[in-house]
Amino acid sequence: MKAVFLDFDTYYPDGLDVSRLEGAVEDFVFHGFTRVEDVVERIAGAEIVLTNKVVLSAEIIAQAPDLKLIVAGATGYNNIDVAAARASGITVCNVRGYSTPAVSQHVFMFILALRSQIMAYHADVKAGRWQESRDFCFLDYPIHELAGQTLGIVGYGDLGRSVEAIAKAFGMEVLIADHKGVDDLRVGRTSFEEVVARSDVLTLHCPLTPETTDLIGAEELKAMKSSALLINTARGGVVNEAALASALKDGEIAGAGVDVLSQEPPRGGNPLLDPALPNLIVTPHVAWASRQACQRLFDQVVQVLGAYKSGAAINVVN
């Protein structure tokens, strides 16, 4: 049994215990990074392929006759053509729940930084403004408490539930959105349109699918409160980035925290990388990547491989 890990270095594994992973398959080849043009050659003869972000398209899958299992080393698997894999009898599995504490923490890092104007105050202190202040402090940027505000959650899996629990600890009201355009609402859910309109903070935790692409566009941003924040730690394509940039420039919403972009890395530029955009924090897709989360990820991959070898695959997505 041969296994190939295509982009192992994307986890920055130094300092993590990878011994169990390395011993999970008899013939296990690790590549730190794989270019698109090298994928077919590297997975030739492999029964198992592991990928974080390397794309496994239908064309590539068709050229891997020995392939039986693809493991997405992440919760999201939009870089894998799962339909093509299914048609070829290939099982696709992912890893789940490993990053929930890390991403939840990152969500509230965004919210707290934006509501407390941390970046603006920090920049002014570094620039010497506090030293020159007439008073003991200066309050040029309004600070808002989270208690009593409404948090809208789009995507109510493990992450959505974790974020909900933290929000309630801050004294926030929580609304859980149902699917966009649905009339028959599930128990405990609020219509997507109402959540967008009522939320003081709207946070996204849904996968990127054809149905969720541009889920938040110009229409939704106009429907949000002008005082609201948008937080996206899901996938870049869930938000129309040009529309968000425009909404921030025009003051249609108060701010945004974004950890994901539609193209990563954004070599061709991106509307959200404009340094003139107000009240926007962009981080480079790191919400998932605490050391503890990465260790949990590797440990779960070992479980996925062991289950497959025993004939009872887990975390199957196709």
* Domains along the chain with CATH numbers: 2-98+291-309 (3.40.50.720), 100-282 (3.40.50.720)
pLDDT digits (tens, 9 = 90+) for 38-51: 999 999 999 999 99
Find the helix packing angle between 100-116 and 158-169, rounded to 10°.
40
Q: What is the mean pLDDT of residues 247-257?
A: 98
Question: Is 90 exceeded by the pLDDT of residue 117?
Answer: yes
Q: What is the mean pLDDT of the chain?
A: 97
pLDDT at 291: 96
135 Cβ partners below 8 Å, 6+ apart?
A: none
pLDDT at 108: 98
pLDDT digits (tens, 9 = 90+) for 128-146: 999 999 999 999 999 999 9
pLDDT at 21: 96
- Exposure class string for 129-163: b at 16+ Cβ within 10 A, else e: eeeeeeeeeeeeeeeeebeebbbbbbbbebbbebb
Which residues are catalytically annotated? Answer: 235, 264, 285
**Amino acid residing at 198:** R
Question: Is 90 exceeded by the pLDDT of residue 215?
Answer: yes
pLDDT at 37: 97
Annotate 249-302 with DSSP letters as a single string.
HHTSSSEEEES--SSSS-TT--GGG-TT-TTEEE--S-TT--HHHHHHHHHHHH
Question: Is 90 exceeded by the pLDDT of residue 76?
Answer: no
Q: Is the pTM of this model over 0.85?
A: yes
Q: What is the mean pLDDT of residues 221-236?
A: 97
Cα 296 to Cα 86: distance, rounded to the nearest angstrom: 27
